[in-house]
């Protein structure tokens, strides 16, 4: 392992936390951080029990903290009961936040709508009552396929209020991806919109739902509820389809939250695996919410007058933890944005920060890198032209940030006075795991720094033994934590095999390679499996390969990633057709056809950036595709490794030619 992932990055710059970030911070110094870590060490159960009692409102208090009897199927606070929505909304009726703005929603066209905690709760209650009237109850599953909107948050919170487990599907996924998830989760309800609006264009959503249902296997769906976002034309099935506003009409503004067991599945969110179909990551109610709230308090040092903005989409885990649940539980005012960072121009983010007086800004390195390019091309859109003085903390999420982008972000957005929280975590971890604390941790560009209190992160070799500082290895978490994945929906065997392999002593395997430097700081070095990270979104190479091979022209395909300045990684596809290898214009035309096909099968995010055609693929004599070799070719590097085991070494030359 240590020789498979090598770190070539040497970064010596260190940035201590600015004094103003430490003043009044939740964790104000390294001493305070170390004291919390020691507290967990000395009294693991006591620490977590104290956090759960202090931060959450329980309808039935728990007496058990962590139950490890059926590891790795850990149970947290297993005999307690609560309701997640009540902890995000109802609590604010009595703590002085009732009339505080909960969400500032800005549409793609710049329209702004605000909703207070009291109003948001009333909306959630009306929708939840409407769902109850339709017969939905605790234990049912709903698919949510919606644009970024207050309505998406309302739909998720209403499900949580009733104990209906939701599975949100990102609006950029295709009908096929949607159908797979409806079938796998056994959904009886779909909540969607007529269309979504991004970058001045409308994109249909209801159409994809129709197409998904038409593919079959969705017989459990009894209702499709549609938020009227644009008024665009939609196909309608009487008796099955209902408008969201009609479901809410005439419903009371109050709705008793349904108490659920601490371990009740709050949501299932699908993520790419290295093989086969996406994995339905199952999250609990209490443990997940506790960690969502704690990390908002610690990582973002949440303060009552903050205006917080996470630019993610609710279709990803970041939008669950750091839009729908964590910030609301913390009582923050947050910005929710429908559009894209480059419309109507590349200064959109900076303009919004200035107008809404955003204090905490959380976005993806891909967005930062594309805005660096844009501000070079159109100087008017450079952040220096905007008033960003309100910013206090800036953060990154989804993938490691390269040091130069970090420095640009620090100088131009943070104006060298805002700590950067570079957060490492996963869909499976539920919330931040390794991250700087803005008032305590000296930061190094490109490093996610140190684990949060209670997170036993380590780097080990293939037997689970600790590796020396400076050496690469597998990133693992040695002890359970409250927000951890509970299962892969419907596939406990895959859950155990994927995340708790026996050869690694039962530790949680993150699937990332990493190293620790002399100061104990973590540096993430990329996936150890065939999962690509494109613009902060995980894509299984297997899924893209399967989509390509499903096209009638394609005989075989292999997909790898290569570094990309903007998206972090780009998808490169090596394709063998059922006909002669195409060249010139024909090759260009077929490549376009295949790109569009992948976009339709999976979604635009999975479109290969490069497609290369060959007479066949490089295989060992036993028939195994040599993906490692293809990675070298994709990067345009010289092949130095031994190719004598290849069936046909001449093939490499063909595949090295970009179109």
DSSP structure string for 582-602: P-HHHHHHHHHHHHHHHHHHT
Contact 333, 307 (CB under 8 A): yes
pTM: 0.88
Q: Which residue has the tokens 């993520």?
A: 271
| pLDDT exceeds 80 at position 621 | no
Q: What is the signed CA dihedral for 132, 133, 134, 140, rounded to 10 degrees?
A: 10
Residues 604, 194: Cα–Cα separation, whole Å: 19
pLDDT per position as a tens digit, 109-135: 999 999 999 999 999 999 999 999 999
Interatomic CA distance for residues 92 and 96, integer angstroms: 7
CA distances from 69 to 74, 75, 76, 79, 250 (A): 8, 9, 12, 14, 48
Cα 526 to Cα 513: distance, rounded to the nearest angstrom? 6
> In what helix (H) or strand (E) does residue 224 lie, and over which residues does it extend?
strand 223-227
The torsion defined by the Cα of 489, 491, 495 and 501, in degrees rounded to 10, comes to 180
Cβ-proximal residues to 74 (8 Å cutoff; 6+ apart), any chain: 66, 67, 68, 480, 484, 486
**What average pLDDT is seen over the chain?**
93
pLDDT at 652: 84
> What is the separation of C-alpha 566 from the centre of its chain, rounded to a whole number of angstroms?
18
Residue 392 has pLDDT above 90, yes or no: yes
Q: Which of 169-178, 309-318, 611-620 has the lowest mean pLDDT?
A: 611-620
Confidence of residue 1 (pLDDT cuts 50, 70, 90): very low
Does residue 471 register a pLDDT over 90?
Answer: no
Cβ atoms of 634 and 611 within 8 Å: the answer is no
Quick one: what percent of the chain has pLDDT higher than 90?
80
Contacts (Cβ under 8 Å, ≥6 apart) of 573: 544, 545, 548, 557, 558, 559, 594, 608, 610, 611, 612
- Decide if pLDDT at 319 tops 50: yes
| Residue-level pLDDT at 639 | 79
Instruction: Please answer whether residues 434 and 522 qualify as being in contact, where contact means their C-beta atoms are separated by less than 8 angstroms.
Output: yes
Range name among 77-86, 475-484, 622-631 with the lowest pLDDT average: 622-631
Q: Return the minimum-mean-pLDDT range out of 155-169, 408-422, 610-624.
A: 610-624
Q: Which of 376-390, 496-510, 550-564 has the lowest mean pLDDT?
A: 550-564
| pLDDT score for 546 | 78
Mean pLDDT along residues 533-562: 86
């Amino acid at each position: 392992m240590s020789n498979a992932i090598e770190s070539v990055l040497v970064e010596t710059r260190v940035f201590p936390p600015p004094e103003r970030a430490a003043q009044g911070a939740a964790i104000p110094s390294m001493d305070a951080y170390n004291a919390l870590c020691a507290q967990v060490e000395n009294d693991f159960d006591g620490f977590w029990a104290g956090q759960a009692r202090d931060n959450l409102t329980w309808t039935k208090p728990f007496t058990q903290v962590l139950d490890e009897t059926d590891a790795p199927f850990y149970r947290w606070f297993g005999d307690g009961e609560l309701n997640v929505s009540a902890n995000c909304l109802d609590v604010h009726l009595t703590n002085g936040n009732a009339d505080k703005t909960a969400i500032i929603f800005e549409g793609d066209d710049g329209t702004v709508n605000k909703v207070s905690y009291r109003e948001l709760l009333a909306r959630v209650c009306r929708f939840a009552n409407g769902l109850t009237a339709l017969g939905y109850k605790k234990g049912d599953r709903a698919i949510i396929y919606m644009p970024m909107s207050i309505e998406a948050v309302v739909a998720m919170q209403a499900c949580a209020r009733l104990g209906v487990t939701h599975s949100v599907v990102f609006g950029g996924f295709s009908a096929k991806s949607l159908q797979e998830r409806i079938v796998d989760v056994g959904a009886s309800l779909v909540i969607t919109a007529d269309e979504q609006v991004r970058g001045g264009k409308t994109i249909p959503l209801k159409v994809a739902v129709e197409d998904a249902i038409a593919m079959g296997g969705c017989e459990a769906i009894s209702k499709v509820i549609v938020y009227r976002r644009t008024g665009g034309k939609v196909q309608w099935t009487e008796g099955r389809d209902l408008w969201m506003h009609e479901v809410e009409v005439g419903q009371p503004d109050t709705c008793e939250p349904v108490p659920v067991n601490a371990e009740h599945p709050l949501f299932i969110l699908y993520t790419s695996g290295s093989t086969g179909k996406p994995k339905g990551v199952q999250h609990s109610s209490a443990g997940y919410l506790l960690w969502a709230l704690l990390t908002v308090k610690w990582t973002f040092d949440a303060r009552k007058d903050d205006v917080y903005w996470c630019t993610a989409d609710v279709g990803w885990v970041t939008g669950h933890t750091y839009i729908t649940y964590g910030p609301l539980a913390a009582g923050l005012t947050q910005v929710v944005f429908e559009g894209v960072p480059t419309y109507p121009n590349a200064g959109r983010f900076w303009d919004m920060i200035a107008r809404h007086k955003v204090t905490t800004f959380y976005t993806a390195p891909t967005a930062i890198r594309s805005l660096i390019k844009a501000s070079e091309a159109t100087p008017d859109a450079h952040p220096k032209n905007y008033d960003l003085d309100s910013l206090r903390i800036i953060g990154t999420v989804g993938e490691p940030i390269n040091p130069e982008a970090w420095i640009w972000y620090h100088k131009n957005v943070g104006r060298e006075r805002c700590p950067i929280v570079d957060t490492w975590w996963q869909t499976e971890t539920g919330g931040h795991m390794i991250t700087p604390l803005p008032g305590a941790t000296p930061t190094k560009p490109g490093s996610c720094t140190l684990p949060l209190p209670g997170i036993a992160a380590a780097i080990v070799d293939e037997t689970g033994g600790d590796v020396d500082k400076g050496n690469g290895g597998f990133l693992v978490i040695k002890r359970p934590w409250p927000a951890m994945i509970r299962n892969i929906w419907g596939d406990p065997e895959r859950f155990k095999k994927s995340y708790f392999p026996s050869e690694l002593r039962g530790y949680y395997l993150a699937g990332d390679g990493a190293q620790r430097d002399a100061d104990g700081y973590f540096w993430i070095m990329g996936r150890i499996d065939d999962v690509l990270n494109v613009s902060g979104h995980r894509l299984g190479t297997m899924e893209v390969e399967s989509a390509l091979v499903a096209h009638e022209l394609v005989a075989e395909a292999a997909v790898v990633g290569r570094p990309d300045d903007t998206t972090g990684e780009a998808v490169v596809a090596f394709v063998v057709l059922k006909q002669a290898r195409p060249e010139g214009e024909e090759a260009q035309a077929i490549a376009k056809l295949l790109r569009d096909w992948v976009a339709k099968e999976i979604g635009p995010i999975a479109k290969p950036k490069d497609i290369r055609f060959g007479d066949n693929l490089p295989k060992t004599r036993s028939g195994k595709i040599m993906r490692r070799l293809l990675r070298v070719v994709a990067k345009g590097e010289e092949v130095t490794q031994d190719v004598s085991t290849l069936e046909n070494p001449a093939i490499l030359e063909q595949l090295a030619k970009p179109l």
